[in-house]
């Protein structure tokens, strides 16, 4: 059956937690795919006044998505612009930094270990294999009552404001004029809606084979890790947000997702809601929806407690 299992794996890894400002539920499900390549961040103690959440949808392997979850938080906290309150710049620099780390000797060895599921202490030769994996990256930082969303790729963050979906990220697809122009300027092309006939997204962390043009900055490469940033001031009208990979958004519009959660949030625990949502998105068979609903699925619901202090 090609890249799919004969029956989906529907067991879910779900976690819940809360502090004085938010409560969340995060869950993932392998589904019909042969392997699980998604990863996520759920950190409600990021710093004294901040929570950090993220969904990282891997392709070509799980190693880059896992690498991002290992390093993004530390790199962001150490970033000079973050310490000086320039959060937008800090997020942009951190995304690009995660690409830089992958080509260091330590980074390459770590990626090899992750790809082979080896312990961190295992000696490896960084030249044993060529890492060609990548991952989308949507990250949401709540700092005080300010929400910052950084996105590269086609995972998505959606805010529920008075029951209405407010998209806080843009799906980066190769046919978008801005994306296509950058791809061609960098020496690439778009075939059948895919970069170089291969990738159906135009921004991500990793996929370093598409970032080899030394005459242009990292953010201008064929595939760019440079994220769009959206900032919102949260008010009592903002009820919750959902971060999810395209396995979810292929099956639900942003408004359908928000409505699904909102109809249940006062009567069911978040854990049950998010697991029901993943089940709702799962295709009954591989051929049911032309492959839609057959992907890995990862989602996080973050409910705000007002006032955010």
* All structural domains of the chain with their residue ranges: 4-304
Cα–Cα distance for residue pair 57/36, rounded to 1 Å: 9
- H-run or E-run covering 25: strand 22-33
The pLDDT value recorded for residue 127 is 73
Q: What is the pLDDT of residues 179-202, one digit of tens each?
A: 999 999 999 999 999 999 999 999
Tokens of 97: 């930094």
Torsion over CA: 29, 158, 153, 15 (sign): negative
Which residues make beta-bridge pairs with 230?
149
Task: Over range 74-101, report the average pLDDT.
Answer: 98
Tokens of 76: 């962001």
> Is residue 69 pLDDT above 80, yes or no?
yes
Helices 105-115 and 63-78: crossing angle in degrees, nearest 10, is 140
What is the share, in percent, of the chain residues with pLDDT greater than 90? 92
The pLDDT value recorded for residue 126 is 78
> Is residue 82 pLDDT above 60, yes or no?
yes
Cα–Cα distance for residue pair 231/168, rounded to 1 Å: 8
> Is residue 67 pLDDT above 50, yes or no?
yes
Cα–Cα distance for residue pair 133/223, rounded to 1 Å: 12
> Is residue 123 pLDDT above 80, yes or no?
yes
Interstrand relation of 164-167 and 156-161 (parallel, antiparallel or unpaired): antiparallel
Tokens of 6: 């004969």
The pLDDT value recorded for residue 32 is 96
Tokens of 244: 């999810």
Query: What average pLDDT is seen over the chain?
Result: 95
Task: Over range 283-307, report the average pLDDT.
Answer: 91
> Is residue 302 pLDDT above 60, yes or no?
yes
Specify the CATH architecture of the domain 4-304. Answer: 4-Layer Sandwich (3.60)
| Closest C-alpha among 246, 22, 153, 291 to residue 254 | 246
């Amino acid at each position: 059956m090609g890249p799919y299992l004969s029956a989906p794996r529907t067991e879910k890894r779900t976690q819940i937690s809360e502090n004085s400002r938010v409560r969340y539920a995060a869950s993932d499900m392998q589904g019909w795919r042969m392997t699980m390549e998604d990863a996520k961040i759920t950190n409600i103690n990021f710093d004294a006044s901040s929570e950090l959440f993220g969904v990282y949808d891997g392709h070509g392997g799980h190693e880059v998505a896992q690498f991002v979850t290992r390093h993004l938080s530390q790199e962001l906290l150490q970033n000079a612009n973050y310490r000086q309150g320039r959060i937008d710049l800090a997020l942009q620099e951190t995304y690009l930094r995660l690409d830089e780390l992958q080509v260091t000797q330590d980074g390459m060895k770590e990626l090899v270990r992750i790809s082979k599921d080896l312990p961190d202490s295992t000696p490896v030769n960084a030249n044993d294999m060529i890492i060609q994996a990548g991952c989308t990256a949507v990250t949401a930082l709540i700092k005080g009552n300010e929400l910052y969303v950084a996105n590269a790729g086609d995972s998505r963050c959606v805010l529920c404001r008075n029951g209405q979906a407010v998209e806080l990220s843009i799906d980066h697809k190769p046919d978008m004029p801005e994306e296509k122009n950058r791809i061609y300027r960098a020496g690439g092309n778009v075939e059948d809606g895919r970069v170089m006939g291969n990738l159906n997204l135009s921004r991500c962390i990793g996929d370093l084979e598409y970032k080899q043009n030394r005459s242009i900055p990292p953010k201008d490469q064929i595939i760019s890790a440079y994220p769009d940033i959206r900032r919102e001031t949260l008010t009592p009208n903002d009820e919750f947000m959902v971060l999810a990979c395209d396995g979810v958004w292929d099956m639900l519009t942003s408004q359908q997702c928000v409505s699904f959660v909102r109809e249940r949030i006062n009567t069911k625990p978040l854990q049950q809601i998010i697991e029901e949502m993943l089940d709702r998105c799962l295709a009954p068979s591989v051929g049911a929806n032309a492959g839609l609903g057959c992907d890995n699925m990862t989602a996080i619901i973050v409910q705000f407690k007002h006032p955010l202090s």
